[in-house]
Amino acid sequence: MTRDIRMKGFTGTTSLEEALAVIRDRVKPLPPEEIALDGAVGRVVASDVRSAVDIPAFARSAVDGYACRAEDTFGAGPFDAIELKVAFEVLAGKKPPRPLGRGEAARVMTGAPVPDGSDSVVMFEHVEARDASIRLVQALPPGKNVITRGEDVKKDEVVAPRGRRVRADDLGLLTSIRAGTLRVHRRPTIIIYSSGNELVRADSATQGDVEIVDSNGPMLAALALHEGIAATRGGILRDDRTLIADALRSAKADVIVTTGAASTGKEDWMPVLLSELGELWVHGVSIRPAHPIGFGRLGERLVFLLPGNPVAAFVGFRYFVRPALNLLGGIPVAEAFAPERTRRAVLAKKIQSVIGRTDFTRVRFLEDGRVEPIRTGGASALTTLTRAAGIVTVPRDLEGLEEGTEVEVDLL
Amino acid sequence: MTRDIRMKGFTGTTSLEEALAVIRDRVKPLPPEEIALDGAVGRVVASDVRSAVDIPAFARSAVDGYACRAEDTFGAGPFDAIELKVAFEVLAGKKPPRPLGRGEAARVMTGAPVPDGSDSVVMFEHVEARDASIRLVQALPPGKNVITRGEDVKKDEVVAPRGRRVRADDLGLLTSIRAGTLRVHRRPTIIIYSSGNELVRADSATQGDVEIVDSNGPMLAALALHEGIAATRGGILRDDRTLIADALRSAKADVIVTTGAASTGKEDWMPVLLSELGELWVHGVSIRPAHPIGFGRLGERLVFLLPGNPVAAFVGFRYFVRPALNLLGGIPVAEAFAPERTRRAVLAKKIQSVIGRTDFTRVRFLEDGRVEPIRTGGASALTTLTRAAGIVTVPRDLEGLEEGTEVEVDLL
């Protein structure tokens, strides 16, 4: 297999759709773990969470006012005021002293339990308060301003279904049922390696002027962090077969991401070694940029071989690694491959492409809200990405997209 | 002023637009600080960053192949092969031993500097390699497969303008110019207080069945964390004038966020105390939910008084606190008030509203991609939010939105 890759180049052409199907079919959620609720936002619920309690746990007042029996107020009107005796007061967090009797009202504060026997609350500003009584000139419908027990959540109701990615409002709801901890899918760990004899760390002393600063390592780590994962920085690997093999074999992470040495050149050890040590599922995808991308498995670890070209590394992470991280983290398939933020816009200028290849075209917005492709003379230049507001995908069965086409922009 | 708020209720009706204009006009960016590049993603650049170097710093090869003088290949064709002598090899990260002479070629690896004198690179697979020479059957245009010095970034060029929110690709670019550190606006610190005698912590032993678990504190902390800010949890405050005054006065943060006691009731100390101790800029906004919201200033601290109703607290954070955090963090005004992720969709069902009030209506997506409002019998119920996929804003000058209207959904 070694000889094949390095001498023959890419063995076939895998389409984007075929490559993503491999990820979709082979990447399964990591096992669940129990975590404290505080850290649960962004995590994926591993099994349905049911409430052990009613929310609210007691009928309570939604306003400051007087709890009444609605039927006592029936018939009240501007010329037929009804008077109720104020029997007691209920403060928030306190139990009512006794049930409410006929013809009685109880002063209640917002959030306070309404006394048994009452079924509605009239707001302070809607009554005439006397010394120990109130006068109403309007009948109350039963239930007015009362939040009934279990109105929000009923006991045994599912409050967070399996596969749900926890949001801040879910956290609020789970807190209110005193969930305490939550069973979520484990988040994948990642290690990132950059490969290339020309690479130096940004903080290294300059040795000459023929080195290139490893910017992909930090960029990929930032992309991982955006997915909530603090990646391990494996550092820079020389283009050395033994050294790279050792690094891959000893990497401790669910996902190994490498950048550089991914193609079919003399020093491109990544696909060679992955196919020897593990399984190289796909190598070479008919996309631009990131055509030499490869991925597969080494033991239990997923391995992504991204090209060294920074734009290609970025695209490879965004459209291959990120969906895989989503799947590992338990995100359902439909969502795992969906872009994070999109905006529909009209093309102000034609995008050229080639049939048989999917293009990820960097675009910028014009003042009128339309988009145009960024000129990419040097396609490897990171500035073609930093100047872009988003990416438009040109499908492989098209020669390009005409001016005036409505496109979905994957926002950066 | 105390008496006014609590006895007279809201003194006027502030529209959403007026309230947001107050935030826009009075909230200014925090002073800049110098931070390590590694933590810069999401932060806002405080002053233009210019590159001190050309990127790339040297002309380099984009492929594995042979560096040539293009003019030496002019006239090459299928029946007119041109032969060049392979003079030396240049590995990535190494300097070429000498300039390239006429009629010579140099073997170069991707990323390696091309020797002086050469101006193009032909890929290995496009030549016939002999022992010490190569044969080309096609002329090379000058510049072919060579990335010239400064092609990506020229020395003194601005690579990250003031006001730019740093993305992962910016981080890559800033790494490649060895920026090291970055001047960014300081990120605001936040302290969160929940207020109400009925509130208990989720981890407290149950005292009876008339308490309510404080779910807003954790939810607001999660919302802050989503903005990149680890909030300080101030905890639960009893409805006690002195206690709340002390808490507000001693809070150490750029932003104080409280939830509960925000309205005009007997125990609603927040607006009273803020107007006494500092400035209450706005109290009561004609919106639903979150109508009792208030905000102002206490010394140098911004203070947001969110209602205790969890949905109102969520809405208050999203549409008032978040833009203020953005402005403090240096995000330009136009972006600071923009929703994070939106999707356009058609209403499958009418949304009812009232003229003079802006409604934040929770909606869910139907299978056909249209949206419908969530029934909100108990408007305070967090489940009306957790069941929603987004929020549609109904402007104050409309009585509602008709079925079939295209709306922008602020995605949760």
B386 contacts chain A (CB < 8 A): yes
CB contact under 8 A, B202 and A178: yes
Nearest Cα of chain A lies from the Cα of B382 at a distance, in angstroms, of 6
Measured in angstroms, the CA of B143 and the nearest CA of chain A are apart by 11
Assess whether the previous peptide bond of B29 is cis (omega < 30° from 0): no
User: Between A and B, how many CB-CB pairs are < 8 A?
Assistant: 230
pLDDT tens-digit map of B282-339: 999 999 999 999 999 999 999 999 999 999 999 999 999 999 999 999 999 989 999 9
Beta bridge partners of B92: none
DSSP A301-318: EEEEEE-SSHHHHHHHII
Residue B206 reports pLDDT greater than 80? no
Q: Give CA–CA dist B299/B88, Å, rounded.
A: 71
- The sign of the torsion formed by the CA atoms of A255, A260, A261, A267 equals negative
Counting Cβ atoms within 10 Å, is residue B133 exposed (0-12), middle (13-18) or buried (19+)? middle
Q: Which DSSP string corresponds to A179-200?
A: --EEEEEPPPPEEEEEE-TTEE
pLDDT at B255: 98
Q: What superfamily in CATH does domain B342-411 come from?
A: MoeA, C-terminal, domain IV (2.40.340.10)
- pLDDT for B2 equals 45
Q: Considering just the CA atoms, what is the radius of gyration of chain A in Å?
A: 31
Q: Which residues belong to CATH 2.40.340.10 in chain B?
A: 342-411
Q: How far is A148 from chain B (nearest CA, A)?
A: 9
Q: Is the peptide bond before A56 cis (omega within 30 degrees of 0)?
A: yes
Across the interface, whether the CB atoms of B171 and A219 are under 8 A apart is answered yes
Whether chain B has a CB inside 8 Å of the CB on A386: the answer is yes
**CB of B119 closer than 8 Å to CB of B143:** yes
ipTM for this model: 0.90
B278 close to A (CB below 8 A): no
Residue B212 and residue A167: Cβ atoms within 8 Å?
no
Q: Which residues of chain B are within 8 Å of residue A41 when distances are taken between CB atoms?
A: 222, 225-226
How crowded is residue B38: how many other Cβ atoms within 10 Å of its Cβ?
16
Q: Which 304-323 residues of chain A touch chain B by CB within 8 A? A: 308, 310, 314
pLDDT of residue A76: 92
| Mean pLDDT, chain B, whole residue set | 92
Q: What is the pLDDT of residue A134?
A: 96
C-alpha torsion B266→B313→B320→B349, nearest 10: -120
pLDDT given at position B317: 98
Domain with CATH 3.90.105.10 in chain B: 33-53+158-185
A114/B13 Cα distance (integer angstroms): 30
A41:B226 CB<8 A? yes
Among the four given CATH numbers 2.60.40.1120, 3.30.1120.10, 2.40.160.40, 3.90.105.10, the one describing domain A33-53+158-185 = 3.90.105.10
CB atoms < 10 A from the CB of B34, how many? Answer: 10
CATH 3.40.980.10, chain A: domain bounds: 2-31+187-336
Give the per-residue pLDDT at B375: 81
Grouping H, G, I as helix, E, B as strand and the rest as coil, residue B355 is coil
Sheet holding A232-237, edge to edge: A232-237, A190-195, A255-259, A301-306, A294-298, A279-283
| CB contact A14 to B (< 8 Å) | no
User: How remote is the C-alpha of A3 from its chain's centroid?
Assistant: 41
Q: Identify all chain B residues contacting A60, using CB atoms and an 8 Å cutoff.
A: 212
Give the three-class secondary structure for B184: strand
Q: H or E element: which one contains A384?
A: helix A383-386
Instruction: Determine the pLDDT at residue A208.
Output: 61
Question: Tokens 């069945």 appear where?
Answer: B209
Q: How large a percentage of chain B has pLDDT more than 70?
A: 96
* Tokens standing for residue A263: 């193609």
Backbone angles phi, psi at B8, to 5 degrees: -95, -10
Based on the number of CB atoms within 10 Å of its own CB, is B78 exposed (0-12), middle (13-18) or buried (19 or more)? exposed
Asked whether residue B1 carries a pLDDT value surpassing 50, the answer given is: no
- Measure the CA–CA gap between B5 and B12, rounded to whole angstroms: 11
Closest CA to A38 of B20, B220, B12, B83: B220
CB contact (8 A) between residue A112 and residue B41: no
Residues of chain A with pLDDT under 70: 1-9, 11-12, 206-208, 377-380
CATH of domain B2-31+187-336: 3.40.980.10
Chain region(s) in chain A for CATH 2.170.190.11: 60-147
Residues 6+ apart with CB under 8 A from A72: A82, A84, A102, A103
Q: Under an 8 A CB cutoff, do B203 and A211 touch?
A: no
Q: Using a CB-CB distance cutoff of 8 angstroms, which residues of chain A are in contact with residue B57?
A: 209, 212
Which of A341, A345, A309, A305 minimizes the C-alpha distance to A321? A305
The reported pLDDT for the residue numbered A207 is 57
* Two structure tokens written together for A407: 């496109």
Residue B39 sits at the chain A interface (C-beta within 8 Å): no
CA distance to partner chain A, nearest, from residue B216 (Å): 6
Specify whether domain A60-147 bears CATH 3.40.50.720.
Answer: no
Among B269, B278, B207, which residue's Cα sits nearest to residue B240? B269
pLDDT at A1: 42
Q: What is the pLDDT at residue A5?
A: 58
Contact check, Cβ <8 Å, B196/A92: yes
Q: What is the DSSP string of B362-390?
A: EEEE-TTS-EEEPP-SSTT-THHHHT-SE
Kindly tell me if the per-residue pLDDT of B26 is higher than 80: yes
What confidence tens digit (pLDDT) does each residue in B284-296 have?
999 999 999 999 9
**pLDDT at residue A2 in the model:** 45
> Tens digit of pLDDT for each residue in A129-188?
998 999 999 999 999 999 999 988 999 999 999 999 999 999 999 999 999 899 999 999
Closest CA to B259 of B214, B227, B225: B214
Residue A102 tokens, joined: 């006929």
Whether the per-residue pLDDT at B6 is higher than 60: the answer is: no
Paired tokens of A162: 């399996």
- CA nearest to B223, candidates B358, B146, B317: B317
**CB B198 to CB A383 under 8 A?**
no
